[in-house]
Amino acid sequence: MIVDDLPQFTQFQVDEQTHIVLDREVCKSCDHHACVHSCPANCYTLNEETNRVDVVYENCLECGTCQVICDKNAIDWSYPRGGYGVCYRLT
Ligand code: SF4
Ligand code: SF4
Q: Helix/strand/coil (H, E, C) string of 49-78? A: CCCEEEECCCCCCCCCHHHHHCCCCCEEEC
Q: Is the CB of 41 under 6 A from ligand 2?
A: yes
Interval between CA 2 and ligand 2 midpoint (Å)? 16
State residue 6 phi and psi, 5-degree precision: -55, -45
CATH number for region 3-89? 3.30.70.20
Express each pLDDT in 10-65 by its tens digit: 888 999 999 999 999 999 999 999 999 999 999 999 999 999 999 999 999 999 99
Q: Is the CB of 75 under 6 A from ligand 1?
A: yes
Determine the pLDDT at residue 1. 66
Q: How far is the CA of 63 from the centre of ligand 2 (A)?
A: 5
pTM: 0.90
CB atoms within 10 A of CB 28: 12
For ligand 1, whether the C-beta of 43 sits within 6 Å is no
Which three-class secondary structure string do you get for 19-34?
CEEECHHHHCCCCCCH
Residue 17 has what DSSP assignment? S
